[in-house]
Structure 1
Amino acid sequence: MPMPDYSGEWPPKPHDLAADMYGEYTAWWSGNSDDLAEIYSRAVPSAPVRPSQLLGGVRGALSRFWWGRPVFNDTKRLHIPVAADLATMSADLLFGQPPTWLCTEETATDVKGAQDRVNTILDGADTLATLLEAAEGAAALGGTYLRLWWDESVAKKVMIGAVAPDAAVPQWRYGKLAGVTFWRIIGKDKLGTWRHLEHHEPGRIEHALYCGDDGAIGRRMPLDAMDETLWAAELVDEESSIPTGIDELTACYIPNVRPTRRWRNTPGLSPLGRSDFEGLEPLFDALDEAWSSWMRDLDLGKARLFVAQEALEDKGPGMGSSFDREQEIFTPVPGNQMLPEDGPNQLVQAQQFSIRVEEHAKTCQDLLKQILRGAGYSAADFDDADSVSMTATEVSARKDKSNQTRNRKLLYVQAELRPFGLAALRLDYKVFGGPDFGLKEAPELHFPVRVDQDPVALSTAISNLKIAQAISTETAVRMFNPNWSNDEVEEEVARILDEVALTVPDPDGGEFESAEDEPRNDFQDEVEPDVEVAEAA
């Protein structure tokens, strides 16, 4: 399956529709107020009324956003980065606690050797940082790509990189990624816009260089035509490809969540996934408007003085007049400009508007709750001030919404990340050599359990259960440490039992060789004769 013959507009249809939506999501994600105003205005800001505001449909609705309205005065437009906070919170929920890759006898023959290599490639700090980056982009744009790359001058292992969906053109087969072309602009000059395309398919990675303009891909050029792709020209074969030596695809796509409501009936776009921002754009816009109105009240609430002409000091011809706020005595002006009878009360008037703090705060708080509910997150996870006065049980209950969203997203992550990990291990063996560890299938991937209960409340519950003899020591250890492995639990249980074991010392200073040598207490002497009689009967 060679690289598609790209020509004409870029990005190609139907991905041009997705590119427009990615631009809108990126503006909210980055929080750039200039980009927001540009996207929602699409006209000269000084125009009193834009024709697009009178239209129906999506274009008219977007142009009537608060960010799309013309600015007649020097109005401050402030942006609250709630969208960026949502994306960051989603990434922290998924990979704030790193997952664990586990090799077993079912996955590899050499379990220890395979586990060591898995820890090097898939469980390192660089991989975790890449997964956090990818998860944040997936929450904002609806999904993310992961690709494998290697460079012996950088690291002696296969590396994992994250690619945003607005820089890729995928090929699907039954909703699964069958191939993908990553692209990036590497330069602009008098000849046009230069793009480097990197096409991944099973068994090979093809590189191509195109020269066109901002809206068209243009014609294909030799890889050595630009310094940025000279390295690829030295590595590719006669088909402009680099063989990988494995049957797996060296890239994967992880959707944020499905279905994609906006494009569910659009071929080529329905498998992309849904952004956390989808459908929340009007609420983002309303929150920015409410916050800017609050800040406008602060400006209007500043005290301002209205001073009569008689109280101004003339600076001379062409120099204007001024008012000295520190002056204590003002002399009335003779003639027709005499002050009225209540002159001292009318000489200077102060004006100060009230600041509607409670109204604005309540509005912003309600809008934020609607945004969190629409995105599928709990207010308690968003550092809500109301949770401070709550009990630990109430806070844990309020996090159920975030836990449900996390579990849903983890299904997509596990479905794609585990086979991608197997491809990384096999590619690492082909590129860097060494033992293959007898890999049979992908290593197991375990995500830690998110513990929301307060440690004090949890310990109290475990203590009550132990007193009631309702749980064993092993169960108690697992309850308090749900993310421990079986070996860790067994070692902890053994240590606890050793510490609490009852030892009865010999009064004579000796040691009991067997249980029969141990002295019996009075209770045993009284009970055992009855037992013998009962047995004889």
Structure 2
Amino acid sequence: MGWFKNMVMKMLRINPAVENRVITITEPFSYGTNVLRNRLWYRGDPSELDQFHKQAAADAVSRSRFWAAVPSADLGIRKIHTGLPALIADKLSDIVIADMDSIELQTEAVNVTWEEIAEDNDFPELLGGAITDALVAGDGAFKLTVDTAITPYPIIEFYSGDQVEYKRQRGRLQEVVFYTDYRQRDKDYRLVETFGRGYIKYQLLDAYGKEVPLTMVPETAELADVTYSGDWIMALPLMFFKSPKWKGRGKSIFEGKADSFDALDEVVSQWLDAIRSGRVQKYIPEDLIPRNPDTGATMRPNPFDNQFIKVGSTLAEDAKSQISMIQPQILYEAFVESYASALDMCLQGIVSPATLGIDLKKTDNAEAQREKEKATLYTRGKLVERLNEVIPQVVATALMVFDTLNGRAAGLYEPSVKFGEYASPSFDSVVETVGKARTFGVMSIERAVEEMYGDTWTDEEKAEEVARLKAESSGMLTDEPGTRDDPPDDELDDE
């Protein structure tokens, strides 16, 4: 058989792959265009989505998408947007903000100062908007500035990722650059604010990128470079996920879901188009077509309230001119299944349908509902983990800016933020679980009280409850049996 093997090897010639073959791939969107697309998904305006996808369709994949398709008919198919992207981002932001219990600092005086700064900036509302912007755009940055003409406290603002750039050295943040666009006398200007360690620099650029005086725009006329003592920056980036495309930038929560959102909108649009086309069709002979009472001309059909199809009149002897009505069958089950599948693709790995109030059956008990929330819990955990790092830094920086504003050396602050639990079990379930643990002797009274009441009770209330339970368990609060003061036996004998 050796000769046969050699013959086969001679007949089968295998050429090795070329190692230096160059494969060129062109990215369909730049960073700014990608952020714009994600922002349009969040805005949810069908007209804007249609315009963007038609103008941005530069390759075969983009042109084949539903939002980029150009119908052949005059009116075409009605394109409907479900609004799901905005619902996802807003709901995740609301969940995180609702679970943020408190921000604590070392002393009561510092706590009071921070509460005044937070109230002046409406910090919970600002933080909720920052979370939403970071989820949509991919990242962003907090900017802290001072304007004593407006407020005696530091001003906290959040800039979205398309208005921010980061300059790092060996992975360490060195500068945060903010961009603000102005239009003055039909000319475009861009303010470039560079926040570095111990300084803030301002530049005003015209439409050609040339630096011009800050006085060209009234809003920037009074700005001047600032220096302050300390090796810290009056700006802090916020990023939840890292982008695989752009180094040092964040990834939007919509990244990789654009085709799924497009497919969901296509299913819903086709569904509504089938319902519109599936109305009762009227076949009317030509001599029975409704006519305009003023001119006598036949009326044109309307797809909503007066839809009909004209048929020619017959001259047969036994022919009758009558109106025929036919309604096609709409396969609702197929549309519902397609909608459910497309919806699953949109929500996979981000949020549970139950979180958005979708397909949450009334027969599910609390445990089944919590099982459906696991995807939301994972995403929320990622957001909270990052916010546990960023929020204390924002609070500390705001207090340091306040110290600098009042002529004091910037202090060292160690804020801590506390988040509650999401989709926690009901009180009845907690009582049953803790009760079993106490019965088996595997949980102390202190731990049981902590598990039962958590952040809903103060430390003093929990300490009183622990003392009461310990007293009851040792029998100190039980009533002693009554005794009768009977005289001694010798006294009875004397009587």
- The TM tier, using the shorter chain, reads 0.7 to 0.9
Greater relative CO (CA pairs within 8 A, separation 6+): 1
Match of 1:305 in 2: 282
C-alpha contact (below 8 Å) 1:141/1:274 kept by paired residues? yes
Quick one: distance in 1 between partners of 2:151 and 2:363?
Answer: 50
Contact preservation (8 Å) 2:449, 2:462: no
Go from structure 1 to structure 2 and tell me whether the alpha carbon gap of 1:206 and 1:99 turns closer, same or farther (over 3 Å shift): farther
For residues 138 and 489 of structure 1, the distance between their equivalents in structure 2, rounded to whole angstroms, comes to 39
**What does residue 229 of structure 1 align with?**
220
Match of 1:377 among 332, 346, 351: 351
For 1:97 and 1:322, the matched residues in 2 are separated by 61
Question: Could you tell me which residue of structure 1 aligns to residue 7 of structure 2?
Answer: none
SS in 1 for 2:238: strand
**Mapping of 1:339-358 within 5 angstroms?**
341=318, 343=320, 347-358=322-333
Q: How many residue pairs align between the two structures?
A: 441
| Structure 1: gaps (5+ residues) | 1-13, 44-49, 53-58, 105-110, 264-268, 324-335, 511-537
> Counterparts in 2 of 1:75-474, with a 5 A limit?
75-104=77-106, 111-122=107-118, 126-190=122-186, 192-212=187-207, 216=208, 218-232=209-223, 236=224, 241-258=225-242, 260-261=243-244, 263=245, 269-312=246-289, 319-321=296-298, 338=315, 341=318, 343=320, 347-374=322-349, 376-433=350-407, 439-467=411-439, 470-474=442-446
Distance 1:132 1:300 in 2: 43
Cα shift at 1:317: 10
Is the Cα contact below 8 Å between 1:301 and 1:353 reproduced in 2? yes
Question: Are the equivalent residues in 1 in contact too, given 2:180–2:191 (CA < 8 A)?
Answer: yes
Segments of 5+ residues of structure 2 without an aligned counterpart are: 1-26, 301-312, 486-495
Contact 2:195 2:235 in 1 (8 A): yes
Q: What letter matches 1:295 in structure 2? A: L
Instruction: Tell me the amino acid that sits aligned with residue 357 of structure 1.
Output: Y
* Alpha-carbon offset, residue 21 of structure 1: 0.7
Aligned-partner SS, 1:388: coil
AA at the equivalent of 2:147: D
Displacement of 1:95? 2.1
Q: Aligned equivalents of 2:114 and 2:484: distance in 1?
A: 55
User: d(CA) in 1 for partners of 2:161 and 2:222?
Assistant: 25
Cα displacement (A) at 1:421: 2.5
RMSD (Å) for aligned C-alpha atoms: 3.2
- The one-letter code sitting in structure 2 at the alignment partner of 1:493 is E
Task: Label 1:171 to 1:322 Cα distance change in 2 as closer, same or farther (>3 A).
Answer: closer
In structure 2, C-alpha distance between the alignment counterparts of 1:125 and 1:205, rounded to whole Å:
21
Counterpart residue identity of residue 200, structure 1:
F
User: Secondary structure of 1:482's match?
Assistant: helix
Show CA shifts across 1:399-427 (max 9, x none).
22222222223333333333332222111
SS in 1 for 2:360: helix
Q: Report the Cα distance in structure 1 between the residues aligned to 2:83 and 2:429, rounded to whole angstroms.
A: 34
Q: Is the 8 A contact 2:446 2:466 kept in 1?
A: no
Distance across 2 between alignment mates of 1:181 and 1:39: 28
Distance in 2 (CA, whole Å) between partners of 1:354 and 1:433 is: 78
Contact 2:201 2:226 in 1 (8 A): yes
Whole-Å separation in 1 of the counterparts to 2:419 and 2:391: 12
1:84-107: per-residue Cα shift (whole Å, max 9, x none)? 112112212332222532234xxx
Q: Give the C-alpha shift of residue 224 in structure 1.
A: 1.6
Give the AA of the match of 1:61: V
Shift of 1:506: 8.1
CA distance in 2, matches of 1:29, 1:38: 15
Secondary structure of 1:146's counterpart equals: strand
CA contact (8 A) 2:140 2:164 kept: no
Structure 1 pair 362/456, CA: closer, same or farther in 2 (3 Å)? Answer: farther
CA distance in 2, matches of 1:315, 1:115: 78
**Aligned match of 1:478 in 419, 425, 450?**
450
Q: How far is the alpha carbon of 1:291 from its aligned partner?
A: 0.5
